[in-house]
Amino acid sequence: MTHARFTRLAQSLPASVPFVGPEEQERTRGAPFDARLGANENVFGPSPKAIAAMQAEAIEIWKYADAASHDLRAALAGHLGIEMGNIVVGEGIDGLLGYLVRLLIEPGDAVVTSDGAYPTFNYHVAGFGGVLHKLPYRDDHEDLRGLMALARERGAKLIYFANPDNPMGSWLSGADVVAALEDLPEGCLLLLDEAYIEFAPEGTAAPVEIEDERVIRMRTFSKAYGMAGARIGYALGSAGLIRNFEKIRNHFGMGRVAQAGALAALQDQDWLREICDKVAASREAIARIARDNGLDPLPSATNFVTVDCGADGDFARAVLGGLVAQGVFVRMPFVAPQDRCIRISCGTEADLARLAEALPEALRRARGG
């Protein structure tokens, strides 16, 4: 019988995905969610100019997109004060993570990350046979100095560090990130995930010279720009590093409608500032709802608030289950002791009113009421 002959690595991997999406959860529960507060999406949406640009471009959908993403990269270069050769565009940060791991990691290579950090990065490392070495969070923050030390101990080729962090919402100043680079081992690359950087306090973005070969930064149009469904991310790094993405990336992976939308979104910085203000107000509202219910909201530099439920992971999972049962989609960290928390994405006033209504009942159920 003829059959597919999978690689030994593929045979060793579980048939799983990093996240179970809200749509799958809705199919399982047999009903839609009333409030979608779990995926860190920007419920306030993209710039109207971006929507108009995508609508106008739809008539040209019969054409392949520009494989070089020239116009978008040129606009990003002007916006950031760097050269086009320092930028690669890809299918969200998720896609770019996969490309970077493919470039650097062979079976058996050591990679360092925080235990409980972004699971999609771990998924890519496992898919290429890398060996993950994880460090616990310290005081609900990723421990960058500790990650550097672990990388030195393990001879790691790559470190993953998110600033601001998901799932805790914590952050370091950019100056602290730059100072920590003194401890980066020779031959190790720091992958700096800045997906939430637009929401963070001024000074959070690391002032790393663009040709610094020790660092690659990744950013996205999914969060502050409100275009998660378009899958537009970009990486910033030295020209020599970025040039290597041309060897392995999917050159026609970026659709022309998404590129047009991202370009228009980037050019509407007034809308971006308005969205950041709305997110800040929503964070405050979530924190207030949490405190009204005797829970402890953690400081956040993102578009979500991680809320300490005050007990262990089992209790937090019960709270989450109680919210989901009432039609409120939220998520939580998956690793102890951070799994004592639930993570609530920013939402509209109607979304948060639904949260405020459902949370007391979820807590009552979790406490055995």
In this predicted structure, what is the pLDDT of residue 134? Answer: 98
> Which residues are within 8 A (CB) of 95 and not within 5 positions of it... i.e. 6 or more apart?
231, 233, 250, 253
The predicted model scores a pTM of: 0.96
Share of the chain above pLDDT 70, in %: 99
Confidence check: pLDDT of 20 > 70: yes
Over residues 317-351, the pLDDT tens digits come to 999 999 999 999 999 999 999 999 999 999 999 99
Over residues 197-214, the pLDDT tens digits come to 999 999 999 999 999 999
Over residues 52-77, the pLDDT tens digits come to 999 999 999 999 999 999 999 999 99
**CATH class of the domain whose range is 48-267:** alpha beta
* Topology of the domain comprising 21-45+270-366: Aspartate Aminotransferase, domain 1 (3.90.1150)
Contact call for residues 196 and 153 (beta carbons, < 8 A): no
Question: Regarding beta strands 87-90 and 110-114, do their DSSP bridges make them parallel or antiparallel, or are they unpaired?
Answer: unpaired
Confidence tier at 1 by pLDDT (50, 70, 90): low
340 burial via Cβ count (<10 Å: 0-12, 13-18, 19+): buried
User: Does the CA dihedral 275-281-283-285 come out positive or negative?
Assistant: negative
Confidence check: pLDDT of 9 > 70: yes
Segments making up each domain of the chain, as ranges: 21-45+270-366, 48-267
Mean of the pLDDT values across residues 31-53?
Answer: 97
Average pLDDT, the chain: 97
Structure tokens at 304: 């979500």
Mean of the pLDDT values across residues 224-252?
Answer: 97
Confidence check: pLDDT of 274 > 80: yes
CA-CA distance, 66 to 256, in Å (whole number)? 7
Confidence tier at 2 by pLDDT (50, 70, 90): low
